[in-house]
Chains A and B, each alone.
Chain A
């Protein structure tokens, strides 16, 4: 019954409902489900991408446990976990966000461990004639800037890489002179991009980032005592019931994992 229009409308409504239901259905995830083994879901800081992809692959190969990793800013991931996102493991780019979760009982402190560290480096576009620069108290970087050059950092008040850079310059007594020259990018990879493209003559990024970008060269490494220790803590998410979660975190501390991290420019 009903006009052709009404029939068409009903058909469209049925299709829409079917699509909606399909979208809500639980999915098995993109990872290869080996014999129906549910994949391990890892939330990790974006700066770990290349290293952790390789490490996760190695773990899956040796244990048969598929792992899928979601990368984003540590802040976003921590907030999602607080909203009961279905993560099994969390790897953060700094201690603050792991502490924040731990305070709220959202991660399992017994499984918490630092999986690697990083160094802070001063980079410049590859074609820059300058060789190396000594980063000591009172060093003057201004000749390297030219007339209008900028120092590229991640957001200095918010993103860990930016905060570490600022802390390092402050402890060297260089921050006040550099502050007017600073250009803060959304994250450390964006700051890296500015230097790689020659938009900024100088930038401060992680050693692991500089390793990944052929268009920049390292002018100096910040002495470790000039900034808080850069560590990447990992832990099992408290609400997770996945049997392999704690094992994966423990494996990240193994020598095999350590080799992978070192190869990507991290400290182990």
Chain B
């Protein structure tokens, strides 16, 4: 049904999108909590920075990553020399680009969810002897869970469809960075590529639907099971 190149692209896209969504979770939760629960000088600026990838053209984000984390970039050279890690021309770079593009969506969803958690419940937990971390893990996070799941699903879906930032930063390397979106773009360039485009587009839709169903199931499971 699919050529080996297409299969490779589909699997790589899944890997990249999953990595992007999961890696974004810790900073996403941290920033969502910070913006929801704390006031501090410069908060509006931080909020704006978080939303920047949403309003910038993806190619600009990709170019910024290339300039900074590319093999010749200031940070990129440092990372390669001292830690041997490189994002350039590597699937981790694709994941990073996708993660950045989807980050604002995740933070928004998580922030809204945390804001809607009744602070009075957090107060009650504190009176019962729970320190701030325990309150967060046992009260805030579980009650904000639907938002966390929604944010992750959004980040995953955005990563799946990401194209401009990824291809500008890490190009398209079969098996490494040639994602579903890149394959689709390539097919657009050639006359008669329509059949392939429909096939791949259907795959993308199917994956997104599965992600949506998975997130629904995760929310329902938590609501049903609870913890006893």
Contacts and interface: CB of A to CB of B under 8 A. Distances in A.
Interface residues of A, number: 26
Interface of A: 73, 75-76, 78, 96-97, 99-100, 148, 150, 152, 155, 157-159, 182-186, 190-191, 194, 197-199
Nearest to A150: B89
Contact of A182 (B164, B168, B173, B188): B173
A76 B189 CA distance: 7
Given A155-B186, A158-B189, A185-B172, 8 more contacts: A96-B191, A150-B89, A152-B171, A158-B187, A158-B193, A183-B173, A197-B66, A199-B70
Interface of B: 66-67, 70-72, 86, 88-89, 164, 167-168, 170-173, 178, 182, 185-191, 193
A168 to B, nearest CB: 18
Contacts of B86: 148
A197 B171 contact: no
Contacts, number: 70
Contacts of A78: 191
B70 A197 contact: yes
The winner among B66, B170, B173, B189 for most chain A CB atoms within 10 A is B189
Nearest to B166: A186
Contacts of B178: 184
B218 to A, nearest CB: 35
10 contacts: A75-B188, A75-B191, A97-B191, A155-B186, A158-B188, A183-B89, A185-B168, A190-B168, A194-B171, A199-B88
A201 to B, nearest CB: 10
Contact of A199 (B72, B186, B190): B72
